[in-house]
Amino acid sequence: MAPQTSLFQVFLRLRPPMQQNQNAAKAPTEPWLLVEQPTPKIQDNEDDIQKSHPTHVTLQPPNDSRKRAIERFGFTKVFHEEASQLDVFEEIAAVENIQNVLKNGRDGLIATLGVTGSGKSHTILGTKSQRGLTQMSLDVLYRSIGSNIRRPCHPELPTDVQLLESLQACDPSDANIIPATTFLENVYSDGDRARFSRAQTPMAGIGSRAQTPLMVGPSSPVPGSFPMSPGLSFLSTPRDSFATARSSFASDATVKSPGSTRLPRPRRLCRATENTVTTIHKQSLSTVEEDVPQKEPLHQASKANVWERLSPKKKHAKKSLMQDTYPMHNTRRPPMPRPSAFAHEPDMASYATSINPQYDYVVLVSMYEVYNDRIFDLLSSTPSGGPAMSTRQGVALQKGLMRRPLLFKNTEMSPDRKVVAGLKKIVCSNYDEAMMVLETGLTERRVAGTGSNSVSSRSHGFFCIEVKKKIRGNDYAGHHLNPWSGGTLSIVDLAGSERARNAKTTGSTLAEAGKINESLMYLGQCLQVQSDCQQHGTKPIVPFRQCKLTELLFSNSFPSSSDPSHYRPPQKAVMVVTADPSGDFNATSQILRYSALAREVTVPRIPSVTEAMGALKPAGHSGRNTPMDMPPNYFSAQELEQARHEIDRLAEECNALVVRLTEEEIKRTEAELRLQASEEKMIVQEQEVREECWQEMETMLEIEKGRWRAAFENERFNSQEYMDEKLEILEKNVSFDIHEDKEPDGHVEDLERENEVLRAKLAAMEQEMQTRSPTKKKTVPKTPAKKVSKVVLEETHSTNILQNPFLVSLKEMEKQVIVLQPSSNVDEEPARLSEISPRKLTLRGSAVRTSAMTSSSQEEMLPPQTPGTGKKKTRKLTTRKWEVDDDIF
């Protein structure tokens, strides 16, 4: 059935009615989805006919006022409600996909698509008792590889460090490759990391993944199954549980084929446990809401006001956004998944495929989800690389509340093919390790309870099993010579499309639904191109770059052609469309319309009027006049013939109109869906814009606050400095600066000269005194070796000397010196003057110069004097200059 142009093989799986639906006393509704039985071929025997699967379904619109057309859809195969997980695994050729990965390194993709609650996760991940496609594929893979697996760590072998190095060197996606034991130890021994389980959804209830064995906590003790008491598993420390798991690894390591050990079945998760889990989750929700404002106590008051002012609608939107930004995390971590709790049915022993024994194999498991069109690693909830703590997002990232989105891009080692860069890839040595990693990753996946599904996937989950191989022996010769090569089997559990009305979603869940529907609409467009091309036999040009989901699903669907030496064949892709035949007709028909490989629209055949007339029996004695009651010759044959033609024509016209109407209705439904998707997209965008504005405003406020704070500090510092400078100046200038004359030496000479003159006058006066008093007539010693001290005062014109009492006193003193000098003991004067300390003189704004001169020098300097000349004694004051520094005042 799958032609050359097909990028995906598309299978349809019908979901059986739910248990409670069967029991419910519900009015039986007419089935609207009918599976066409396959037409047996001539060469088919009885067995073939029984085994053969139908390929077409008919969609019979429910009987309502609208006369809708019947649609027929063709798929690669259709699985009935009774089809088992193993049937699906076999028929979608999953083993062939695994062989491709193991032998040829060709990538494989298995995805499920459908309306919410139609059984996608059930198909991919199974239930507590039945494995899903992921578990079955992993089991087949490990069984096939057997002892050719290379493990980085083994309890009984030395750690193979070079294995990780060589894997890392060959990885094109810049992945962080770590062994499963290290990963599990990190996850379950880290005390403060909280993990949110799929089981902990607000509406956790009946059915769904909440009951999967992989989440089961306590289970009945079965001798020999697991050394730890299962009842105490919740109470045991994570390290204990890890040690226990390690010991189980050790015992499992001896088992060559991982699935061959029969482990006991897990006990069902009881309702009480579910309720407890639900309560815890709700508490955690409210904690998140209340905690977020407490993160920034500085803004708490203002935020509280802002919060109060918000309308209830806005409050709701904000709350939803907060839940979205800070996803729900529980303080309690679910216990480490235990191998004894994994489902072991169906047995896959017979599906193991052969491998090349010359090769060593390594299996790397990675998981990521596409949420709101962004890619998040499910195995590294704690971001690596230490984000900046300055922003709110940085703090949240640091605390592990938010996860950093990854990029789907070309890398240095992968120039012609995009890869999800920076993923964490876990090297799993056996099936149990891979399952534990898978379960750990699933606890990180976003789920929510909706009106349609109690545990509804809110993101598109990608589980990647990467198989690397290289020739055994010269493995350490250098990874460039003998690099690891291989392929990846990606198993994808898409989120379900849903109608907000049916799912009763609000807030962030509604916004998520908008994103989900939008991405599924793009996926539908891509698949539609495929089916159109298939019908017209043309090469499909798929518009897959419209969103992350379609990019991830389709970018590998085309052969890489840029470098022939690195040629990669296109992936082998399988899409399993799930549908609930008793679910929502419109949503299901929409999914079928774009996913089906072939589609036909047929109009319900209206029996022609002539046939109807012919089929009419005589009305008997009904009392009404019908054409049959008329006498045979009432209408002529010609008239009847004309009427028949007219009726046939009208019937044809009517049919054509019905077809047109049907087409229009389909178009209208599509347009409605698009409108709904764009409305939801707008809501999301509006919320995003609001959040962005909010954050921007907060950032701006912070910046502005910082600016003002800096300016204030600066101002304070400046004024402080200014005051300090002022004080310093005051301290410095508390004494007056006395400016001596520019040429002090010359001035001194002047003064000395003046002194000489004065001295001469004094001598003359003494002589005169002697001559006037004959009794005291004495001969004057010619050269008395006497010391004479003189005081010279200088003052500026600008200073009024009379206003300064000290200067006045000095002046008086000088007068006294001059007046008393002849009669008093001249030696006493210097002593009196010396009592005034130079410091005092300086402080009081005067300068005192004391000059001691010997009489001999005086005599040398004295001009020749005529004794007895009666000249009047005069005293000449030199130019006095006092300057006061203005700055002081």
- Residues at the contact surface with ligand ATP, assessed by CB under 6 A: 15-16, 114, 116-122, 127, 207-208, 453, 455-457, 495-496, 578
Q: Give the Cα separation of 309 and 685 in Å (integer).
A: 22
Distance of CA 228 to the CA centre of its chain: 38
Q: Give the Cα separation of 542 and 6 in Å (integer).
A: 11
Please, what is the minimum distance in Å from the beta carbon of residue 345 to ligand ATP? 14
Q: Which is closer to ligand ATP, CB of 466 or CB of 498? A: 498
Q: Residue 531 annotated as binding?
A: no
Q: Which is closer to ligand ATP, CB of 133 or CB of 836? A: 133
Q: Residue 197 annotated as binding?
A: no
Which tokens is 846 given?
Answer: 């005067």
Instruction: Locate all alpha helices (DSSP H) within 733-741, ordered by sequence.
Output: none
Please, what is the minimum distance in Å from the beta carbon of residue 20 to ligand ATP? 10
Which tokens is 307 given?
Answer: 């919060």
Please, what is the minimum distance in Å from the beta carbon of residue 121 to ligand ATP? 3
CA angle 315, 388, 383 (to 5 degrees): 85
Q: Give the Cα separation of 441 and 420 in Å (integer).
A: 16
- Cβ atoms of residues 423 and 175 within 8 Å: yes
Q: What is the dihedral of CA 812, 814, 818, 824, to 10 degrees?
A: 80
Please, what is the minimum distance in Å from the beta carbon of residue 461 to ligand ATP? 9
Q: Give the Cα separation of 309 and 838 in Å (integer).
A: 78
- Cβ partners under 8 Å of residue 331, min gap 6: 194, 284
Please, what is the minimum distance in Å from the beta carbon of residue 663 to ligand ATP? 29
Please, what is the minimum distance in Å from the beta carbon of residue 574 to ligand ATP? 17
Please, what is the minimum distance in Å from the beta carbon of residue 496 to ligand ATP? 3
Q: Residue 461 annotated as binding?
A: no
Q: Give the Cα separation of 506 and 680 in Å (integer).
A: 11
Q: Which is closer to ligand ATP, CB of 333 or CB of 446? A: 446
Partners of 42 in the beta sheet? none
E strands present in 771-833: 787-792
Please, what is the minimum distance in Å from the beta carbon of residue 438 to ligand ATP? 16
Helix (H, G, I), strand (E, B) or coil at 425: strand
Instruction: Locate all alpha helices (DSSP H) within 733-743, ordered by sequence.
Output: none
* DSSP code at position 550: H
Q: Which is closer to ligand ATP, CB of 437 or CB of 579? A: 579
Q: For 65, how many CA atoms within 13 A lie in the half-sphere containing its CB?
A: 0
- Cβ partners under 8 Å of residue 16, min gap 6: 81, 82
Q: Residue 118 annotated as binding?
A: yes
Q: Which is closer to ligand ATP, CB of 198 or CB of 318? A: 198
Which tokens is 339 given?
Answer: 């191998």
Please, what is the minimum distance in Å from the beta carbon of residue 366 to ligand ATP? 21
Q: Residue 120 annotated as binding?
A: yes
Q: Residue 777 annotated as binding?
A: no
* CA end-to-end distance (rounded Å), the chain: 107
Q: Which is closer to ligand ATP, CB of 495 or CB of 575? A: 495
Instruction: Locate all alpha helices (DSSP H) within 733-781, ordered by sequence.
Output: 744-772
Please, what is the minimum distance in Å from the beta carbon of residue 116 to ligand ATP? 4
Please, what is the minimum distance in Å from the beta carbon of residue 230 to ligand ATP? 24
Q: Give the Cα separation of 250 and 245 in Å (integer).
A: 9
Q: Which is closer to ligand ATP, CB of 226 or CB of 522? A: 522
Q: Residue 315 annotated as binding?
A: no
Which of 439, 403, 442, 443 shows the shortest CA–CA distance to 423?
403
Cis ω on the peptide bond leading into residue 387 (within 30° of 0)? no
Q: Which is closer to ligand ATP, CB of 35 or CB of 397? A: 35
Q: What is the dihedral of CA 740, 745, 751, 755, to 10 degrees?
A: 140
Q: Which is closer to ligand ATP, CB of 97 or CB of 456? A: 456
Exposure class string for 228-257: b at 16+ Cβ within 10 A, else e = bebeebeebebebbbbbbeebbeebbeeeb
Q: Residue 115 annotated as binding?
A: yes
Q: Which is closer to ligand ATP, CB of 89 or CB of 242? A: 89
- Cβ atoms of residues 859 and 762 within 8 Å: no
Burial (CB < 10 A; 0-12, 13-18, 19+), residue 173, is: buried
Q: Which is closer to ligand ATP, CB of 320 or CB of 456? A: 456
Please, what is the minimum distance in Å from the beta carbon of residue 76 to ligand ATP? 18
Please, what is the minimum distance in Å from the beta carbon of residue 119 to ligand ATP? 3
Which tokens is 569 given?
Answer: 């064949």
Burial (CB < 10 A; 0-12, 13-18, 19+), residue 158, is: exposed
Q: Which is closer to ligand ATP, CB of 380 or CB of 578? A: 578
Instruction: Locate all alpha helices (DSSP H) within 596-636, ordered by sequence.
Output: 609-615
What is the CB neighbour count within 10 angstroms for residue 793? Answer: 17
Query: Which phi and psi (to 5°) does residue 98 adopt?
Result: -65, -40
Please, what is the minimum distance in Å from the beta carbon of residue 447 to ligand ATP? 7
Q: How far is CA 103 from CA 39, 274, 330, 468, in A?
A: 36, 44, 43, 10
Which tokens is 557 given?
Answer: 């669907």
Q: Which is closer to ligand ATP, CB of 116 or CB of 273? A: 116
Q: Which is closer to ligand ATP, CB of 203 or CB of 793? A: 203
Annotated binding site for ATP: 114-121
Annotated binding site: 114-121
